[in-house]
Amino acid sequence: MLNLVPWENRADGRVVCEHVQRIKGLEADGVLLASPIADMTDALL
C-alpha cells in the first residue's frame, strides 16, 4: 500500500500525490512524474 496523501497531510513515511501544476515550485527530497503522454512539453514541467 502506498499511503498517498495530499500536500497538506504530508509527513514522514507518507507519499504526496498531487498534479504537476499544484506541486510546481515546492521543495521535495524526490519527485516521481507519471504521465500518460511521452512528449510532455517543457512548459508543463
Dump pLDDT digits (tens) for 1-45: 677 888 888 888 788 888 777 777 777 777 777 777 788 888 876
**CA–centroid distance for 37 within its chain:** 16
Q: Supply the pTM of this predicted model.
A: 0.47
Number of domains in the chain: 1
Q: Please give the residue range of the domain that contains residue 37.
A: 1-45
In this prediction, residue 45 carries a pLDDT of 66
DSSP 12: T
Which residues pair with residue 4 across a beta bridge? 15
In this prediction, residue 36 carries a pLDDT of 78
